Amino acid sequence: MTTAFKFLKANPVFHIATIDGDAARVRPFGFVMVRDGALYFCTNRTKEVYRQLVAKPDVEISGMGADGTWLRVRGKAVFDDSREAKVQAFEEGPTLLGLYPKGADDETFITFRLAEAQATLYSFTAAPAQLPLI
């Protein structure tokens, strides 16, 4: 059986939806890691997505597989500004250095995990199935 983490790694462009006032906002993301039993993502403190997650941490992630299945992961963003989380992110995603040349020392870079997360796999040919996160 697959997990939400494996699905997102196998389909590295996925979309994160946030709430901005009374409107939904969606944008592509491509980094995910596992830390302390949770799915972790990263962003930049200067971006609208950061501001939106601070104001309302409800988030939903969706990605589609080449086989036509798609995943939805719903949860609440909890920011983790620890050096350890940042170092792990750059170890697992060295391409992040192209965006953040200072690496874990970049003050705009921040990670977040999903709390209260639930993952569901959908298909046009099968009933929705709950997936483990990791």
Q: Kindly tell me if the per-residue pLDDT of 100 is higher than 90.
A: yes
Give the span between the Cα atoms of 108 and 103, in whole angstroms: 10
Give the span between the Cα atoms of 39 and 22, in whole angstroms: 26
How do residues 12-30 score in pLDDT, each as one tens digit? 999 999 999 999 999 999 9
Q: Which fold has domain 4-131?
A: Pnp Oxidase; Chain A (2.30.110)
CA distances from 52 to 93, 95, 101, 126, 127 (A): 24, 25, 25, 34, 32
How do residues 37-78 score in pLDDT, each as one tens digit? 999 999 999 999 999 999 999 999 999 999 999 999 999 999
pTM score = 0.95
**What are the residue boundaries of the structural domains of the chain, listed by start?**
4-131
Grouping H, G, I as helix, E, B as strand and the rest as coil, residue 62 is: strand
Grouping H, G, I as helix, E, B as strand and the rest as coil, residue 106 is: coil
Q: What is the pLDDT of residue 1?
A: 60
Handedness of CA 64, 28, 115, 82 (dihedral sign): positive
